[in-house]
Chains A and B, each alone.
Chain A
Amino acid sequence: MPTTTKTLKGRSIVSGRLKGTALVSQKPLSFLGGVDYNTGVVIEKNHDLKGMALKNAILCFPSGHGSTVGSYVLYSLVKKGLGPKAIVNQVADTVVVVGAIIADIPMIDQVNIKQIKTGDILEVDGERGTVKIKAKRN
């Protein structure tokens, strides 16, 4: 598999640097109601990630929406080991930002997530606000 390395520049929200596999959605996500907090699986109706587990993914989606209890759901999922390990947003929404701060997972925003595909191997640097695409998945 040919690998392309590309660096996307965004804005730092929560620091931390790690590698992982991208799970990409083109739709806004509500952690309250949209994600089952017992399993970490997306349950939002008509969502492009419906049925997918967030566990250990670098979760890339445009922004959060919906009820504000969503921050605690993100915190809970991460504490139980069922949450994403990092978050990449186009536009950071307070619900997701605070969730990432208290769950203590790296987060960046202002990234054009259309450049990322599910399955890509990413390196997220929450301090610099960058995402490196280490390997593209075909």
Chain B
Amino acid sequence: MYLTRQEQQTLDGEHGWANQIAMKILVRLGDLYGATKLIPVQSAHLSGVSYKHLSDAAIDFLNELADKGGSAKTTATLNPSSLDTEYLIKHYSQERVSQQEKIINLYSRMQIRPTLTCTPYYIQKPKANQHLAWAESSAVVYANSVLNAWTNREGAPSALAAALIGKTPNYGLHQPQNRKPNVLVKLGIKLQTESDYGALGIHLGELLKDKIPAIDGLRGSVDELKQLGAAMASSGMTALFYTQPPLKSKIAETLTVERKDIEDTKSKLRTTDEKPKLVFIGCPHCSFNELRTVALAIDNKKVRDDTELWVCTSRHIKNKSSRYVAIIERAGGHVMCDTCVLVSWIKDLGLYTLVTNSAKTAFYAPTLNEVDARLEPLKRCIESACGA
């Protein structure tokens, strides 16, 4: 891999330890995956924020980076944390709250913005063909597939490394020849709801691993494609998909999806039939439209006393939708910023069963949260929260 004189000096440690370890990560990955050089990135988005997942050893690592000169050289944003500052903060121990604050402060010390959302594209939408270095698998697949920006599926530390250097190695999805679809998926069915899109994503992710599918017959809204991509990136390594077959080239490998595949996936994502303790909307974080849809669905209804409704979004979207937030909160729901179910300790709150319209959450909750889960479309989720 070609390095400029300054990049080589950074790698040799002449610009401090933090820059050196960041450069080591970038150069090692670049060498392994066939990069020819480092290229500037428009932004970096970092996962690895929630204290629940990071634990103390990673705090030590961040601390050392911040102490030894780590500082972002490009726009850098952060994934959700383990709690919000209005509701959950009152329910967790002082230790958890202070460790979480410590993590956010360490990133802030390195000039990384505490946006605390998995949907940074609602705050600053990347333009087509811009190069990014994003972690958070659902944001990666959305940026590549829906926004046509270019990013690899970074790990939490490699996105941090890219933030500290302002560059990324130009391998993988930064090269046009690596962005071509290599599996044609034929949909023999019509998808009805966002949870159908999510179930399709879980099914495809398991089969496709890291292949790039072109899904023929896909007509979803951007929010439905967000569900599809987030799910594919959870059960597989998908970072890019297309919503139509290529015009000029033929794809040899074909895969057909039947109604049965979707139904089988949904029953795999159903570990309980019980009445849920928690109804959760907002994985990935709600868009403005999704928040409005929730508000319209719950207007004039009331969340049952024995159930909680969480609607998670970014502070940015919440501030823009005060009218809808008021409707959801009047019905007894919590509109939460900065956090989500997967990165929080919901089991400790006694929330042992959840119903969600997010296939990603239904896929992860039984292991990440050790709770039972069920995938249902929004309408059924609201019925679960408000029904008799």
- A69 vs B158: C-alpha distance in the bound complex, in angstroms? 10
| Inter-subunit contact B57/A94 (CB<8 Å) | no
Which 3 residue pairs spanning A and B have beta carbons closest together? A79-B57, A71-B155, A76-B57
In the bound complex, CA of A66 to CA of B209 (Å): 10
- Determine whether the beta carbon of B367 is less than 8 Å from that of A45: yes
Can you name the residue of chain B whose Cβ is closest to the Cβ of A99? B155
**Closest B-chain residue to A80, C-beta based?**
B57
Instruction: Determine whether A73 belongs to the interface, using a CB cutoff of 8 Å to chain B.
Output: yes
Which residue of B is nearest A43, CB measured?
B367
Q: Which residues of B contact A (CB under 8 A)?
A: 21, 24-25, 28-29, 32, 47-48, 50, 53-58, 60-61, 135-137, 152-159, 209-210, 234-237, 364, 366-368
Most B CB within 10 A of own CB, among A63, A79, A97, A98: A98
Q: Are A37 and B55 in contact (CB under 8 A)?
A: yes
Please name 18 pairs of A and B residues whose Cβ atoms are closer than 8 Å in the assembled complex, sorted by A: A33-B364, A44-B367, A45-B367, A63-B209, A68-B154, A69-B50, A69-B156, A71-B155, A71-B157, A72-B53, A72-B55, A72-B58, A97-B32, A98-B25, A98-B157, A101-B25, A101-B157, A102-B61
Indicate the member of B24, B48, B56 with the most A CB atoms within 10 Å: B48
Please indicate which of the listed interface residues B21, B57, B152 has the most CB atoms of chain A within 10 Å of its own CB.
Answer: B57
B35 to chain A, nearest CB (A): 12
Are A94 and B155 in contact, with the CB atoms below 8 A? Answer: yes
Q: Does A34 have its Cβ within 8 Å of any Cβ on chain B? A: yes
Number of A-B contacts (CB under 8 A): 105
| Contact call A75/B57, Cβ cutoff below 8 A | yes
> Residue A10 at the B interface, CB < 8 A?
no
Given A33-B364, A94-B154, A98-B158, decide whether A69 and B48 contact each other with a Cβ distance below 8 A.
Answer: yes
Q: Is the interface of B mostly helix, strand, loop or mixed?
A: helix
B33 (CB) vs chain A CBs: closest residue: A94
Cross-interface CB contact of A69 among B47, B57, B153, cutoff 8 Å: B47
- On whether the beta carbons of A94 and B58 are closer than 8 Å, the reply is no
Taking the nearest CB of chain A, how far is it from the CB of B71, in angstroms?
A: 19
**Quick one: closest A residue to B140, CB to CB?**
A68
Residues from chain B with Cβ under 8 Å of A34 in the complex? 367
Partner of A72, one of B25, B157, B210: B157
| Among A73, A75, A94, contact of B152 (Cβ-Cβ < 8 Å) | A94
Please report the total number of A residues contacting B with Cβ < 8 Å: 35
User: B158 touches which one: A28, A33, A43, A71 (CB < 8 A)?
Assistant: A71
- List chain B residues, Cβ under 8 A from A72: 48, 53-55, 58, 61, 156-157
List chain B residues, Cβ under 8 A from A32.
53, 368
Establish whether residues B58 and A68, one from each chain, have CB atoms under 8 Å apart when the complex forms. no
Name B54's closest neighbour in chain A (CB-CB).
Answer: A72
- A84: which B residues are within 8 A, CB to CB? none
B136 to chain A: which residues have CB within 8 Å? 68
Min distance, Cβ B13 to any Cβ of chain A, angstroms: 16
* Docked-complex contact B61 and A67, CB < 8 angstroms: no
| Chain A residues with CB below 8 A from B236, complex form | 65
